[in-house]
């Protein structure tokens, strides 16, 4: 009986030995890079064109970490953010990162940050006249989402009307809070009364019927022309330009001067441009035969 029990005990011991050996093998040391690196990346694009409001956050697990305070080596290719897993103040662009564990196993990826397109304002406007008010029409592109508008005269709509001559500034904001500013100046167009094109330089004219009269005479001319205006127009400069810009006669006007004699203009078509001290302009056509 003792012998049989001894044999049975030997068999049980042998079986246990085999089972323990098999379990030990199944948990033996794995080879290099058998445990993959797991890299979770979160990022935010820059909110506005040209801004550095983007960021990237890298969360690393897996692999075989180092035992020190830096379990993984992080290297940013062509950027100065080495060893950092959270980088901020980023412009639009590509950011390549390499993560390495203690066995030299690596994970490489590129994160692309893209900013919204630039907000662009295109404007067209109508200058006011002596009888009508002006307007400004905006066309806005770029940015993100809907736009809001804030004008220097208190308006909050895209386009504004019933405007006197003045300088207007608009601030446009998109859904991300990106903003761009534009300034538009409206100049009053003064409509001047009719004139007698056959008036000779020696004739006088009355300002009582229309104090805004400007006379260019004779017109057509033979190269000599008299330009006259009323004192109330407060003209400061007179220019005579042909349409290709090769002839440009410029004259600064003094306060007591209300006429200008111009001689020797070559044959052609001209623009006579009178500007007053407020920057308003009057343009008259002139033909030299």
List per-residue pLDDT tens for the chain, 289 residues long: 434 433 334 333 333 333 322 222 223 334 578 888 899 999 999 999 999 999 999 999 999 898 877 899 999 987 777 888 899 999 999 999 999 998 889 899 999 999 999 999 999 999 887 678 899 999 999 999 999 999 999 999 999 999 988 899 999 999 999 999 999 998 876 544 433 333 333 333 333 333 456 788 888 888 888 888 777 777 888 888 887 777 788 888 876 677 788 888 888 888 888 887 767 777 888 888 8
Buried b (16+ CB within 10 A) or exposed e, 166-179: eebebebbbebebe
Would you state the pLDDT for residue 202?
Answer: 37
- Give the whole-angstrom CA distance, residue 63 versus residue 82: 19
Q: Which residues pair with 117 in a beta bridge?
A: none
197 token code pair: 């094109």
Would you state the pLDDT for residue 31?
Answer: 53
- Give the whole-angstrom CA distance, residue 91 versus residue 47: 10
| Element holding 15 (H helix, E strand) | helix 2-26
The answer to whether the beta carbons of residues 204 and 226 sit under 8 Å apart is no
Q: What pTM does this model have?
A: 0.53
Would you state the pLDDT for residue 88?
Answer: 93
Would you state the pLDDT for residue 205?
Answer: 35
- Give the whole-angstrom CA distance, residue 185 versus residue 201: 37
Would you state the pLDDT for residue 86?
Answer: 92
Residue positions counted in the chain: 289
43 token code pair: 């990022």
What domains can you pick out in the chain, each with its CATH number?
37-113 (2.60.40), 120-186 (2.60.40.1080), 214-288 (2.60.40.10)
């Amino acid at each position: 009986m003792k012998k049989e029990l001894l044999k049975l005990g030997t068999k049980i011991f042998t079986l246990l030995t085999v089972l323990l050996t098999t379990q030990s093998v199944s948990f033996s040391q794995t080879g290099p890079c058998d445990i993959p690196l797991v890299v979770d990346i979160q990022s935010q694009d820059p909110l506005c064109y040209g801004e550095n409001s983007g960021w990237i956050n890298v969360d690393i697990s897996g692999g075989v970490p180092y035992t020190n305070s830096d379990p993984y080596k992080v290297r940013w290719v062509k950027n100065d953010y080495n060893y950092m897993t959270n980088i901020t103040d980023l412009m639009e662009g590509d950011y390549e990162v390499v993560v390495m564990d203690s066995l030299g196993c690596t994970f490489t990826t590129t994160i692309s940050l893209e900013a919204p397109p630039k907000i662009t304002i295109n404007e067209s406007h109508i200058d006011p006249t002596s009888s009508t008010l002006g307007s400004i029409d905006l066309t806005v592109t770029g940015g993100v989402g809907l736009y809001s508008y804030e004008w220097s005269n208190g308006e909050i709509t895209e386009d504004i009307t019933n405007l006197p001559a003045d300088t207007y500034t608009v601030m446009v904001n998109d859904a991300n809070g990106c903003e761009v500013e534009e300034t538009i100046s409206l100049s009053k167009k003064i409509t001047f009364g009719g004139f007698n094109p056959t008036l000779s330089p020696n004739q006088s004219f009355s300002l009582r019927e229309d104090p805004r009269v400007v006379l260019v005479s004779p017109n057509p001319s033979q190269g000599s022309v008299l330009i006259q205006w009323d004192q109330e127009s407060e003209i400061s400069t007179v220019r005579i330009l042909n349409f290709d810009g090769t002839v440009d006669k410029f004259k600064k006007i003094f306060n007591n001067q209300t006429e200008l004699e111009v001689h020797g203009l070559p044959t052609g078509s001209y623009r006579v441009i009178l500007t007053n001290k407020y920057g308003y302009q009057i343009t008259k056509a002139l033909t030299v035969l």
